[in-house]
Amino acid sequence: MTRIISIANQKGGVGKTTTAVNLASALGRSQKRVLLIDLDPHAASTSHVWDGEPAATIVDYMENRQLLEDCIFRTDDGYVDYIASSQDLQDYISKMKNIHTLPEKMLSIVKMCESKYDFIVIDTPPDFGVLQVNAVLVSAEIIVPIYEYLSVPGLVALKDMITACDQVINLGKGRILRMLAVKADCRTKLSRNIVQVVHDNENSLHTVIPYNIKLAEAPAEHKTIFEYEPTSKGAMAYMQLAKELINIGA
């Protein structure tokens, strides 16, 4: 069965895109068939894996200009298929007349891709807007990257959103929220405390992604960490994360 994982958090700059791109590549390098969907109009995942204008984006599929298969491309590193995003996604959302269109489109993508991929990883925008909600709607697992204390109201809002999604589409068992400590600098007491808080939460991921400058440099080269600096601590951590997820099972 395909595992669908959204990378979500209502804040920007917390490592969602870095996690989506490098986790997808690590899963691909672990012999898994992976589709990365960029559902953020900022299109940071798209530009991370692709240097230039994509020939088609998710908006072309949403607006019925292209077939889904014509919107799926292979990343340069050769391990991941992806569906690109673009700024047009924001216009599409603003002009959308029927609120059912987006969930129907997302579900159709998942249905068509189910037999082709072991994992679908979805990068989301930094808010609880319609795009993030729709990503969570089709996902059984939600990875929440955390590098600073997540405010209690923020966490409650995220859990409420996940519960609301459980009520709209029942996936058999409740969606699992998996916190992931990222950008951790374990020389500092603050970072060690945050990692501890993350690990105290049920279903949180044991792997800790360290602060690693190579991870911050790689996007400008349009490369995953495995192409940019395969022996870096960042590369090792994302490979470890992929292994942990594979071992957890669906």
Site size with Mg ion, rule: CB under 5 A: 3
**Six-digit token string for 177:** 């929220």
Asked if 126 interacts with ligand ADP (CB under 6 A), we say yes
How many Å apart are CA 5 and CA 18, to the nearest integer? Answer: 14
In the complex, the smallest distance separating the C-beta of residue 175 from ligand ADP, rounded to whole angstroms, is 20
In the complex, the smallest distance separating the C-beta of residue 90 from ligand ADP, rounded to whole angstroms, is 16
Q: Which position among 8, 110, 158, 182 is part of the footprint of ligand ADP (CB under 6 A)?
A: 182
State the burial class of residue 192 (Cβ atoms within 10 Å of its Cβ: 0-12, 13-18, 19+).
Answer: middle
Instruction: Identify which of residues 12 and 174 has a Cβ nearer to ligand ADP in the complex.
Output: 12
Instruction: Identify which of residues 40 and 81 has a Cβ nearer to ligand ADP in the complex.
Output: 40
Per-residue mark of binding to ligand ADP, 16-35 (x: CB under 6 A)? xxx-----------------
Asked if 44 interacts with Mg ion (CB under 5 A), we say yes
Asked if 16 interacts with Mg ion (CB under 5 A), we say yes
Asked if 215 interacts with ligand ADP (CB under 6 A), we say yes
Residues 6+ apart with CB under 8 A from 54: 46, 73, 84, 86
Residues 6+ apart with CB under 8 A from 196: none
Residue 219 contact partner, candidates ligand ADP, Mg ion, none, CB within 5 to 8 A by sort of partner:
ligand ADP
Longest distance between any two alpha carbons in the chain, whole Å: 52
How many Å apart are CA 88 and CA 105, to the nearest integer? Answer: 16
In the complex, the smallest distance separating the C-beta of residue 17 from Mg ion, rounded to whole angstroms, is 3
In the complex, the smallest distance separating the C-beta of residue 240 from ligand ADP, rounded to whole angstroms, is 13
Question: Which run of H or E residues covers position 134?
Answer: helix 130-137
Asked if 6 interacts with ligand ADP (CB under 6 A), we say no
**Six-digit token string for 154:** 């923020």
Residues 6+ apart with CB under 8 A from 17: 7, 40, 44, 45, 48, 123, 219
Residue 209 contact partner, candidates ligand ADP, Mg ion, none, CB within 5 to 8 A by sort of partner:
ligand ADP
- Please give the sequence-ordered ranges of beta strands (E in DSSP) within the chain, or none if there are none: 3-7, 34-38, 72-74, 81-83, 119-123, 141-146, 176-184, 208-210
Interacting residues toward ligand ADP by CB under 6 A:
12-18, 44, 126, 182-183, 209, 211-213, 215-216, 219, 234
Give the footprint of Mg ion on this chain (CB under 5 A).
16-17, 44
